[in-house]
Structure 1
Amino acid sequence: QQGELHAAEALYTRAEHAFERYQLPIRKALLNRGMGNFAMVRGQYSEALHRTLTAQRQFEALGRTNDVAQCVLNLGNPYYFTGWWSLAAAHYQRAEQLAAALDATGWELTCRRNRALALYRNRKLDEALALQQSVERAARAAGQSALAAETRGDMATVLSELGQYQAADDYYELARKELIGLRRDYYAADFASDHGWSLLRRGEHARAAPIFAAVAPALRDYPSIHWRVQYGLARCAELDGEIAAALEHYRAASQTAAQLRSGLTLEAASSTLFAQAADLHADALRCAAQAGDYETLLMIDNEQRAAVLYQFLATRPLDAAPEINAALAIQQRQIEALEADETLDDATRVAVIGQALASYNELLLHARHSAPPVAAGQLRSSAQLDLPRLRHQLASRYGDEWTVLLFAQSRDTLLILTLTPRELLLDQTAWDSGLAEMLRRASREHIYIFTDGPFRGGRTTRPWNLLHALGERLIPPATQQRLNPAHRLLIVPSEQLHQVAWGALRVGDGWLAEQAVLQQVPALAIWSMLAERPASQSRHALLLGCGKFRNGQAALPAIGAELDKVASVWPGPHLRWQDADATRAALLARSASGALQNDALLHLATHASLIPEHAQRAHITLWDDDMWLDEIATLRLGGALVTISACEGAGAASLPGNEVLSLSWAFLAAGARAVLASLWPISDAVAPDFMQNFYTALHRTGDAAQALAETQRAIILRFEEDHDPLARPLIWASFVVTGAP
C-alpha cells in the first residue's frame, strides 16, 4: 500500500516458504490472494490470474465464503486492466452481492467503486458518476478515508470526460492531497497522471508535461500505469518539437505495453489490452516514420505483433487443470447445440452464440493460466528482435536473394517497410475506403475476381484489373526491382492483409507467384525463432483424411484419392488414418504419447471452418468430433510441415495488436515449422493432383514455399498455354505457406 514493493515481495516469498513448510492451508490461501493482488500491481497479469484462481479454489474447499467473495472481486481486476470491462463489471457486481449478503460493508463499497470504474470504461459516464458520488458519501460516513479519497479521484476523471474541467481539476487536487496525507503515494501519483492526460486532451500540454515528469519516478514499478506516463511525456515532447526525446519516450512506452502483454496466452485478452495502447502504437509509428528512424519503427511494430503466438513458442504453456478442461468441453457442447438449434432465428443465434463464446473465452483464459506461469524474469517479449542476427539468418539461407515486406497500420496510413540485406526502406500509402474495398472484394468475391469476371463481363478494360491495382498499392517499386523467380519474398501482413492471396497480385505483366518464392510470416521475431530450431529429422508422415463423418456432414468423395496420391510420392514411411480411423480421440492420444513429435508431415484432408465473427470456434472436423482452435494449439508437434487440405484452412480473423485467430497459427503454436493451407474452398477435381505435384516438388527442394511456387507456376503455364479453366488463379492462388522454411 505504501509503494515499498521490493520489501513486500521479499516478505511474501518468506511467508510462502513458511506456510508451505508447516502446511497451513488457510494461510496459504490468504497468501495466494495477497500475491495475486501484488502481481496485479506489478502488471504481472498471468501470475495474478493464477494466484487468484488458486486462492478462490482453496477458499471454496475451506468453506470460507467471505474470502471467496474477495477473490471474486479481485478476479475482476485482471479483466479490468486487460480491457474486458463488461466481464470485470460482472465480477464486481457478483462480489458486491456476496458482500451484501455477508454484511461486509467495507468490501461492498470497494466492489461498488470498482463497478463504477467499469461503467466509466464502458462510456456510461452519468451512471458511473452517480454511483461514485454514493460510494464517496458512504465511505466517509463509514470512516474509510482512503476509499473516499480514491473515489474522489475517480470522479475527477469522469468529470473531465464530461467536459467539467474546473470541477475535475479541483477534485484531482483534493484527492491528491488527501492521499498523500494517508501515505497512499501510489494512488496520488496515479491520479496525478490522469490529471496530466486530462490537461493534454484539452490542449494544455505545457501544464501536463511537468506533472508527467514529476510522477514518472514514483510509478516506475507500476507498468500498468507507467506506460501511460511515458506516452504522455512523448506527446508533450512531440508537441514541443523535441522529436528525438519524443521517440525515446514512445519507444519506452511501447516496450512497457508489450511487456504487459507478454504473460497473456489468450489472443482476446492480449488484443483488448493492446486496444488501450492503440493510440500509443499509432503515434509511435507515425513519429518514427516522420523522424526517418525506420529501424525504431520496425522494432516498435514487431514488439506489438503476435504476442500470444510468440509466448506459445517461447514458453509452451502447461496443460490446464482437469476440472477446467471438463468445463471447457461442456461449454463447447453447449455452443455446438446452439449452432444446431433450428428454432433460433439468425439474429438470436448470433447473439446467444456470442454470449456463449464470451463465457468460453473466460474459461479458456482460466485454462491457460491455471498452471503456474513462467517466472517474470523468464518471459520474453516479441520486442527481442535482433536485426543483424535476422539478416544473418536470412543470408545464410538465401544469400542476397531475399526481401522482407512488413505492413503496419498507423490510423489512416499503411506503412510498408522493405528490408533487404543492406537497406531498410519505407513506403506509405493511404489506408482509405478504396483500398479497403479492394481488399474486401478480393476476399469476399474471390470466385468473381479470380476468374477475371469484371473483365470478361466488360466492366473493366484491363484484364485482372483489381489484382493489378492491389499489386501497385502493396508492392513498392524498390521491391519489384529485386524480384526474380528464385527470390525469397517474406511477407508480414497486418489487419485485412492476412486474407490477401499474395501470389495472384499482378506485378508488371506477370503474377507475383512467378516472380518470387512467397512465404507469409506472423512476425519477424517468430520467423527468427522458428528458423533457428532444427528441422525434423524424421521422414515419417501421418496422413489423415475424412471423406465420411459419423455426424452426417457432407461427404468428401475425393479424400481417398488425395491420400493415395500423397502416399505415392511421400519419400518416407507413413501412417494412414481415414474415415472411422481419423478421430479426434486418436489424434489427441498420438499427441499425448509423444508419437506426433516424430511426424515430419501431418496432412489433414477434411472439412474446416472459420467464421471471423466467431473465430474462437474455428475447427477441423474429424470422424467423431470437431477439434477446436484452442485444442489444436495444445497438440505437441515436433517441427512438422502441416498441410490443411480443407476449406478456409488459411482463413484468419485479425484482432487489434496483430493477434490472429487461424488454423494455420494454431498449428504453429502447436509446434509446426510451416503450414500449407488455402484461403478458400478448392474443387475436389483439382485437390488430389495439386497435392501430388506439391509433394513431388517438396521431395526435390525440401522447402515448402519453394515447392508451392513450383506447383503454382506449373499450373500458371498450363493456363497460359491452353486456358484450362482448372488452371485459373481461382485454383492455385488461395494456397499460402506460413512459417519458416
Structure 2
Amino acid sequence: MGIEDPAATFEHIRSDFLHGSLDVAQAEAEEARERFASRDANWSMKFRLLEGEILTYQGRRTDVLHLLDDKTVSYPDTGDAAIQRDLLCGLAHAGLGQSQQSDQELRQARVLCDLSNSHLDGEVFNAEARIQLNRNNLTAASDLYRKSLQAARGHADAFLEASDLLNLGYVALQMEHYDEAVALLQEATKFARSVQARQVTEAAMGDMGDAFYRLGDYEKALSNFQAAEKEAREIGTTSAQVVWLWEAGSSYYKLGDLKEAKTCYERALKSATAINATDQISDIETQLALLYFQEGQFDSAKIQSDEAVRAANLSGDKGAEIDAKFVQALLAIHQPNGQDAERMLMEVYESAEGAPYVRWQIEDGLAKYFTVRQNQKQAEIWYRRSIQTFEDKRNEVTDEELKLPFFANGNDLYRDYASFLIASHREDEALKLLDLGRARTLAEGLGTRKNSPTLREVMNPQAIARKLNAVILFYSLGSEKSYLWAITATHTSLFLLPKEQEIESHVQTYQKAILRSSDALREANVDGRYLYDTIVAPAASMIPDGAKVFIIPDGGLNGLNFETLLKPGVGKLHYWIEDVTLTNANSIRLLSKVDSVSSSNEADNLLLIGNPVSSGTEYESLRNAPAEVDEIKRHFTVDRETVLTQAEAVPSAYGTVRPDRFEYIHFVAHGTASRLSPLDSAVVLSASTAHPEEYKLYAREIVHHPLHARLVTISSCYGSGLRAYAGEELVGLSWAFLRAGAHNVIGALWEVNDASTPQLMDRLYGGLESGSKPDEALRTAKLAMMRSDGVTRKPMYWAAFQLYAGS
C-alpha cells in the first residue's frame, strides 16, 4: 500500500464539498484530520479547517466552535490558517447571536489579511458582508459582496464567485429591487451549474422562490421552495433546508392551505431548534403566530410572537424583530382596550423605513386599528397610504412577466379599503376602487394606463353599460364575504354573496361534472342550480331576457362558463345561455374602450394557421383539423385569406406574415397551457427543417406582434389558460392576444373535442359571414349544438369556448 498524498486527499474532499456532497465530505474531512494528527500537524490543521467550513455550510454552528476551540490543538497566530479560523468562528458566533465575540474575530481576520496580503481577502469581504446583512445594513452588505466578487474573479475562485453572485441577488431582494434580484439570481444559477457548485444552485433556486413570493407568484414560489428543500436535504445543508421548509409553509399560507402551512412550520421549527439557529427560529415563530392569528387563536398567536421576539433579540436580526413585533401589534388591536396597539404599530412603522413590503402591511394594520376605533378620517388616510406605498413599489418592477403576479401583494389592501367604503355606504367608490385593481398589466401594455390609477379619475360604470347596451356583472370574492355589483344604463346595485371558498367549491364540483360529460340539464345538476341562484339570481331583476351581459369575474369564477348555469324557468330548467349573450371582460375601464357599434361591413380578411405536421413532436395529428380548415376557408374569398398549413405552419411564419393586417386570425392546432409560467403557454405548430426543436408559438412571443384583429380564435385546448392572477384574471394564450391588441378572443377553458369543434367553428364563421357580431355568432353556434339530440348537447362539447373582450 502506497503512502497517502495529503494534497490529493484534500482536493478530493474539497471537490465533494463544492459539488454538494456535504455529509460525505464532512465525514471524510474528520477521518483525514484524525489520520494526520500524529503524522503531519500542518495537514491535520488544514483538514480541521476544511471540516469547519463544511460544518458552517451545514448550519452546525455549535459544532464549528467545538471543533475550532479545541484546547488540545495549537493554532497559528498568523497566516491563512489563522485567518480562516477567525472567519469560521466569527460566522458561527454571529449565527448564535454572540455579536461581540463575532465582531472581535472578524476584525482580527481583517487585520491578519491586510498584513499578509492574503488571497483570502475575498472570503473576509464575504464574511463581513454576511454580518452586515444579518444586521440589515443592506447597502454596506452589497458593497462588501461586490468587493468579494472582484477578489474572487481576481483569484479565479469560481465557488466564491458563484456565492457572491448569489448573495448580491439576495441583497437586491431584501432591498426590494426585484428586477435586479431576479437577473442576479439567474446569473448565479447559470454560473453555479457551470462549475457544479450544487449548494449555490440550491440556494439560488430557493432565493428565486423568495423573489417569486415577494412578486406575488405564490404557486411558482412554492415550486421553487420545494425543489430547493429537496436539494438541501440531499446535499446535507440543514440550515438551508429549514429556510426552504418554512418558506414553503409561507407559500401554502398565502395560497390558503393553513393545514399544510402549519405542518411545514412545525417541521422547520424542530430542525432549527436542533441546530440552535436562533435567526431561523424567530422567522418560523413569527409565521406560526400569523397563522394562529388568521385562525383567531389569539392566545397561541401571542405565545408564538413573544417567542419570536425573544429569538430575534438573541440572533440580533433586526428584520426578524420588526416582523415579530408587527404581529404583537396586530394582536394588541384585538385586546379589549387596545391602548398599546397604536404605539406598537407606529414603533414598527418607523423601524421599517426603507422596507415598503413591510410598510404597506403596517399601514393597512393602522387603518384597521382606526376603523375599529371608529376614527373614519384616520382610517381612510392609512388605507390610501398603504395602497400608495404598494403602487410605488409596483411601479419599480419593469419586467412585464414579473409584474403580472405582483397585484397579489396588494389584493388584500384594496379589499380592506373597499370593505371600509362599503361599510361607510360608499358602494360606488368601492366598485371604482376594485376596478382600478383589475387588468393593470394588460391596460399598461395596451397603452391605456401609464401611471398608478387614482380614485379621482372619472369613470361612470352606468355610462359604459349604456354605451354597450349591456348589463355588467362585476364580482369580488373574499375570504369572509363576496360582492356582486350589477350595472345597467340607469342603476348600479350591490349584492352580498357567500365567501370565496364556498363559491369556488361549487364551481370546482360543477366543472368536474361537465368534464365527465354529464348531461347537467337533464340531471338538474345541483351545483349548476346553486351557482345561478347564488351568484346571478340576486341581480336577475336587472337582467332582462335577450340582454347582452359582460362578466368581470374574480378568483375561481374565471374558470366557470356562466352560460352553463342552470336557471329555473316557467315550467322548466334551462341553461342561462338561452336567455342572454355573454362575454367575459377584464375590467370596466377596459370595457369603456370597446366599440359597441363596430361595423360588420369592414373588409374581412383571414389569417388561418394550423393543421401542422406533427412528426418530430410529442403531439398527435388532429384528425379533423383538415376538415376545420376547409370549413373556415369557404366563408372567405380566396383573395381575402392567407392560409398556412402543414410545413408552412411554423411559429416564425406568424410574425413574418404581419398579423396586424388581418381582421380575423384563426389557429387550428394543439394548445398547451402552463400554470406555473402562463406566458409559456403555446400553440403547437410545425417544426422547421432548420430548427426541429422550435415548433411552439409562445404567449410571450405573441404579445410582441401588435394586432388590430376583430377576432382571434384559438381552436385548441386550454386557450384561455389555467392560471388566474389576482387582478389580472386568467393569463395564457387568450390574454396574450388581448395584450397584443385583439378586440375579441375566443379561447377554450378545457380540452376540446376534435370531432365537434369543426361544427362549432363552421357555424361561428357562418354567423360572422352573415353580419353577426362575434358574441352573437358564437352564441348561435353553441345553441345549435346544445339543442341537438346527439352528444354535443352536453356542455362539455359546446361550452369549452369562451369569448373575451379586449379594448
TM-score normalised by L of structure 2: 0.61
SS of 1:565's equivalent in the other structure is helix
For residue 519 of structure 1, report the CA deviation from its aligned partner: 1.4
Question: Of 624, 627, 633, which residue of structure 2 is paired with 1:561?
Answer: 627
Are 1:301 and 2:430 counterparts?
Answer: no
1:42-441 matches, within 5 Å, as: 42-54=175-187, 75=208, 77-79=210-212, 81-82=214-215, 83=218, 84=221, 87-88=224-225, 118=247, 121=250, 123=262, 124-129=264-269, 154=283, 157=286, 160=289, 163=300, 165=302, 168-169=305-306, 172=309, 189-197=322-330, 199=332, 205-219=338-352, 221-242=354-375, 245-246=378-379, 248-254=381-387, 256-257=389-390, 263=397, 283-302=416-435, 304-306=437-439, 309=442, 313=446, 388-389=458-459, 391=461, 394=464, 399=467, 401-431=469-499, 438-440=506-508
Are 1:639 and 2:708 counterparts?
Answer: yes
SS of 2:556's equivalent in the other structure is helix
Are 1:541 and 2:610 counterparts?
Answer: no
SS of 1:636's equivalent in the other structure is coil
Amino acid at match of 1:675: V
For residue 65 of structure 1, report the CA deviation from its aligned partner: 12
Question: Of 650, 658, 669, which residue of structure 2 is paired with 1:595?
Answer: 658
SS of 1:209's equivalent in the other structure is helix
Are 1:740 and 2:803 counterparts?
Answer: no
For residue 645 of structure 1, report the CA deviation from its aligned partner: 2.3
For residue 40 of structure 1, report the CA deviation from its aligned partner: 2.8
Amino acid at match of 2:247: A
Following the alignment from structure 1 to structure 2, what is the Cα–Cα distance between the partners of residues 99 and 467? 51
1:44 and 1:260 in contact (8 A); partners too: no
Residues 95, 630 of structure 1: CA spacing in aligned structure 2 closer, same or farther, 3 A cutoff? farther
For residue 735 of structure 1, report the CA deviation from its aligned partner: 3.5
Residues 474, 75 of structure 1: CA spacing in aligned structure 2 closer, same or farther, 3 A cutoff? closer
1:216 and 1:226 in contact (8 A); partners too: yes
Match of 1:663 in 2: 733
Residues 432, 278 of structure 1: CA spacing in aligned structure 2 closer, same or farther, 3 A cutoff? closer
2:286 and 2:304 in contact (8 A); partners too: no
Question: Of 664, 672, 675, which residue of structure 1 is paired with 2:745?
Answer: 675
User: More deviation in 622-631 or 687-696?
Assistant: 622-631
Residues 488, 387 of structure 1: CA spacing in aligned structure 2 closer, same or farther, 3 A cutoff? farther
Following the alignment from structure 2 to structure 1, what is the Cα–Cα distance between the partners of residues 327 and 773? 53
Following the alignment from structure 1 to structure 2, what is the Cα–Cα distance between the partners of residues 152 and 727? 58
Following the alignment from structure 2 to structure 1, what is the Cα–Cα distance between the partners of residues 337 and 392? 30
Residues 399, 36 of structure 1: CA spacing in aligned structure 2 closer, same or farther, 3 A cutoff? same
Amino acid at match of 1:46: D
For residue 128 of structure 1, report the CA deviation from its aligned partner: 4.0
Cα shift readout 1:540-561 (whole Å, capped 9, x = no counterpart)? 4221232873258655444333
Residues 88, 45 of structure 1: CA spacing in aligned structure 2 closer, same or farther, 3 A cutoff? farther
Are 1:521 and 2:580 counterparts?
Answer: no
Match of 2:778 in 1: 708
Match of 2:533 in 1: 472
For residue 491 of structure 1, report the CA deviation from its aligned partner: 0.6
Amino acid at match of 1:157: T
1:156 and 1:171 in contact (8 A); partners too: yes
For residue 638 of structure 1, report the CA deviation from its aligned partner: 1.4
For residue 492 of structure 1, report the CA deviation from its aligned partner: 0.9
For residue 737 of structure 1, report the CA deviation from its aligned partner: 0.9
1:407 and 1:494 in contact (8 A); partners too: yes
Q: Considering only aligned residues, what root-mean-square deviation do their CA atoms show, in Å?
A: 5.6
Following the alignment from structure 2 to structure 1, what is the Cα–Cα distance between the partners of residues 138 and 324? 24
Following the alignment from structure 1 to structure 2, what is the Cα–Cα distance between the partners of residues 67 and 679? 40
Following the alignment from structure 1 to structure 2, what is the Cα–Cα distance between the partners of residues 175 and 434? 39
User: More deviation in 204-213 or 654-663?
Assistant: 654-663
1:442 and 1:449 in contact (8 A); partners too: no
Residues 260, 393 of structure 1: CA spacing in aligned structure 2 closer, same or farther, 3 A cutoff? farther
SS of 2:458's equivalent in the other structure is helix
SS of 2:643's equivalent in the other structure is strand
Following the alignment from structure 1 to structure 2, what is the Cα–Cα distance between the partners of residues 553 and 61? 33
For residue 704 of structure 1, report the CA deviation from its aligned partner: 2.1
For residue 708 of structure 1, report the CA deviation from its aligned partner: 2.7
Match of 2:521 in 1: 452
For residue 191 of structure 1, report the CA deviation from its aligned partner: 4.5
1:407 and 1:493 in contact (8 A); partners too: yes
Cα shift readout 1:595-633 (whole Å, capped 9, x = no counterpart)? 233333221123345597998886544344763765565
Following the alignment from structure 2 to structure 1, what is the Cα–Cα distance between the partners of residues 667 and 498? 39
TM-score normalised by L of structure 1: 0.66
1:673 and 1:739 in contact (8 A); partners too: yes
Cα shift readout 1:578-608 (whole Å, capped 9, x = no counterpart)? 23433xxx2x313444723333322112334
Residues 431, 553 of structure 1: CA spacing in aligned structure 2 closer, same or farther, 3 A cutoff? same
User: More deviation in 602-611 or 617-626?
Assistant: 617-626
1:480 and 1:507 in contact (8 A); partners too: no
Larger Rg: 2
Cα shift readout 1:284-343 (whole Å, capped 9, x = no counterpart)? 55444433332343345345545665565569xxxxxxxxxxxxxxxxxxxxxxxxxxxx
Residues 195, 465 of structure 1: CA spacing in aligned structure 2 closer, same or farther, 3 A cutoff? closer
Match of 1:492 in 2: 552
For residue 423 of structure 1, report the CA deviation from its aligned partner: 3.8
1:113 and 1:135 in contact (8 A); partners too: no
Match of 1:327 in 2: none
1:206 and 1:236 in contact (8 A); partners too: no
Cα shift readout 1:339-370 (whole Å, capped 9, x = no counterpart)? xxxxxxxxxxxxxxxxxxxxxxxxxxxxxxxx
For residue 738 of structure 1, report the CA deviation from its aligned partner: 0.5
2:704 and 2:740 in contact (8 A); partners too: yes
Amino acid at match of 1:694: L
Following the alignment from structure 1 to structure 2, what is the Cα–Cα distance between the partners of residues 642 and 539? 13
Residues 115, 190 of structure 1: CA spacing in aligned structure 2 closer, same or farther, 3 A cutoff? same
Residues 442, 268 of structure 1: CA spacing in aligned structure 2 closer, same or farther, 3 A cutoff? farther
SS of 2:176's equivalent in the other structure is coil
Residues 7, 188 of structure 1: CA spacing in aligned structure 2 closer, same or farther, 3 A cutoff? closer
Amino acid at match of 1:118: E
1:76 and 1:89 in contact (8 A); partners too: no
Residues 561, 478 of structure 1: CA spacing in aligned structure 2 closer, same or farther, 3 A cutoff? same
SS of 1:581's equivalent in the other structure is coil
Amino acid at match of 1:452: L
Following the alignment from structure 1 to structure 2, what is the Cα–Cα distance between the partners of residues 302 and 499? 19
Amino acid at match of 2:584: Q
2:352 and 2:358 in contact (8 A); partners too: yes
Residues 52, 393 of structure 1: CA spacing in aligned structure 2 closer, same or farther, 3 A cutoff? farther
Following the alignment from structure 1 to structure 2, what is the Cα–Cα distance between the partners of residues 164 and 605? 55
Q: How many pairs does the alignment contain?
A: 625
Following the alignment from structure 1 to structure 2, what is the Cα–Cα distance between the partners of residues 466 and 130? 43
SS of 1:694's equivalent in the other structure is helix
For residue 574 of structure 1, report the CA deviation from its aligned partner: 1.5
Higher relative contact order (CA 8 A, sep 6+): 1
Match of 1:604 in 2: 667
For residue 498 of structure 1, report the CA deviation from its aligned partner: 2.4
Match of 2:97 in 1: none
Gaps of 5+ in 2: 1-131, 151-155, 251-260, 293-299, 688-693
For residue 426 of structure 1, report the CA deviation from its aligned partner: 1.0
Cα shift readout 1:116-160 (whole Å, capped 9, x = no counterpart)? 8637745444554466567778xxxxxxxxxx7x66854763685
